[in-house]
Structure 1
């Protein structure tokens, strides 16, 4: 994400973190923190707290997210941009591309 386009505003810090299920690697929330020139840069702990707060709100609306298993992984904003369907490799603690399902099978068509 490129946030340097606002007239007169310059990004001085951009951090990202992923809230994920520590057992499955499924991503519950991706959180960006952007600080513009003149703004106060939040601490790592403040970013984590806000990310977890939002993930819990989203989880209340979506089934299948176990709040007791949520964990946070800090990543570069560029890493988030590079993956279409993100998940976390829980062993390596790294953001990866979730495997896509195989190609759709053609329906069985019999000639008349």
Structure 2
């Protein structure tokens, strides 16, 4: 695989970094900057936006991410995905203020676009 294979939209299923492992769903959009570095944008649920920047090597994708909570506090973390193929990413993540006894988990599935209808 090459980094260009990862560009696109993914549906996300994940669990939070806590004992309860609260589940969530969302989307992940991956694009590249002019240096072929990863630009990531998540939408968790219908309202929580997260952004990240990262790199890809040996089928491993690493992204440093951040987001604002309702109180305008910036949370930061890192997610590591094993790219099973260009359509499935299997990952784990941790935030700086998350429970250090646990990791969060995500699995991302490429959203297929029908070339004929463009949707």
Q: Quickly name the TM-score band, shorter chain normalised.
A: under 0.3
Structure 1 or 2: more strand by fraction: 2
> TM-score of the superposition, structure 2-length normalised?
0.27
> TM-score of the superposition, structure 1-length normalised?
0.28
Structure 1 or 2: more helix by fraction: 1
Q: Bigger radius of gyration, 1 or 2? A: 1
Q: RCO higher in 1 or 2 (8 Å CA, sep ≥ 6)? A: 1
